[in-house]
Amino acid sequence: MARPVESADSHTQSDPQLADRTTAALLLTSLRPEQWTKNLLLFAGLLFGGRLLERAASLRAIGAFVVFCALSSAVYLINDVADREADRRHPLKRSRPIAAGRLSPHIALVTAAVLGAGGIAAAWSIESSLAVISAAYLALLLLYSAALKHLVIIDVLTIAAGFVLRAIASAAAVQVPIGHWLLICTTLLALFLALSKRRHELVLLGEGATVHRRILEEYSPYLLDQMIAVVTASTVIAYTLYTISADTVQRLGTDRLGLTIPFVLYGIFRYLYLVHQKRGGGSPTAMLVSDRPLLTCVALWALSVAIILYA
């Protein structure tokens, strides 16, 4: 424990805004509540399953959202402890409380254990299948942190799998079937975000990219641009096919979901614009919250889907 404390002192001076904060405040920051927007996918089953207006189903979906917020925060804490040395060499991540030496790794790990166990227990109280999916999600992300993030292509596929498990959990929580097209769209969109994040890291860190994250030496901006192009086209095609497929029309009772395609097109193009022209993409959630056109597009898409399915 001596080494982190010693390096903590040198980093405290470079991060004065962390110096006066309490342990609770530092811990809350390390939970990364701004990242919980990713777990809004837990409401997909409620929305597309036709149960949005049912109080009991809505409460179960909210419960599942809270469960995955707890599990994802537990993983963030474990990641920050494991990667604290590498994070100190990152221009942005070095200000995180654990990397800056302001939050004890022991406190972080104990909190992660409580969140992980509590999250799975809460999932079991909602639905047994949700607990199984939650445990699989937690195990997958821990395996990613330990080994899979060092395997080229497997790393981004694992990130996408985490989003797919969220989508499956959203259906399990409210006990509705989830269409295969929706899973395909979720996978492709998650790959799009993961590849864009890898590209942002390469551009931001430059020659020091491989020092911070070893797997980045396997990628190049050109390679990632090729992958992003493939995934972008596939995402648009998959969503289009989803909205007009006979299965979707029969299950949702409408053939008007195709009217939401323009929102998807604009959202993807706007995100690409931010990645290439504004050098964004490091944090999809931060971009969603900070970029008003993108946030408006997502809100209008969700509203239009709700109107088409429930009006």
With residue 246 as reference, give the H or E element that holds it: helix 246-252
From first to last of its 311 residues, what are the pLDDT tens digits of the chain? 333 433 333 444 445 555 567 888 899 989 999 889 889 999 999 998 888 889 999 999 999 999 999 999 999 999 889 888 877 877 777 888 888 888 889 999 999 999 999 999 999 999 999 999 999 999 999 999 888 988 999 999 999 999 999 999 999 999 998 878 888 999 999 999 999 988 888 887 666 666 667 788 888 889 999 999 999 999 999 999 999 998 888 888 899 999 999 999 999 999 999 988 877 766 777 788 889 999 999 999 999 999 999 98
DSSP of 87-139, one letter per residue? HTTSTTGGGSTTTTT-S-HHHHHHHHHHHHHHHHHHHHHH-HHHHHHHHHHHH
**H helices within 147-220, ranges in order?**
154-174, 180-205, 209-212
The Cα 171–Cα 187 span in angstroms is 16
The CATH number of 1-8+21-178 is which of 1.10.275.10, 2.30.110.10, 2.120.10.30, 1.10.357.140?
A: 1.10.357.140
Please choose, from the candidates 183, 177, 170, the residue with its C-alpha nearest in 3D space to the C-alpha of residue 46: 170
Please choose, from the candidates 115, 84, 124, 113, the residue with its C-alpha nearest in 3D space to the C-alpha of residue 100: 84
Q: pTM for the full model?
A: 0.84
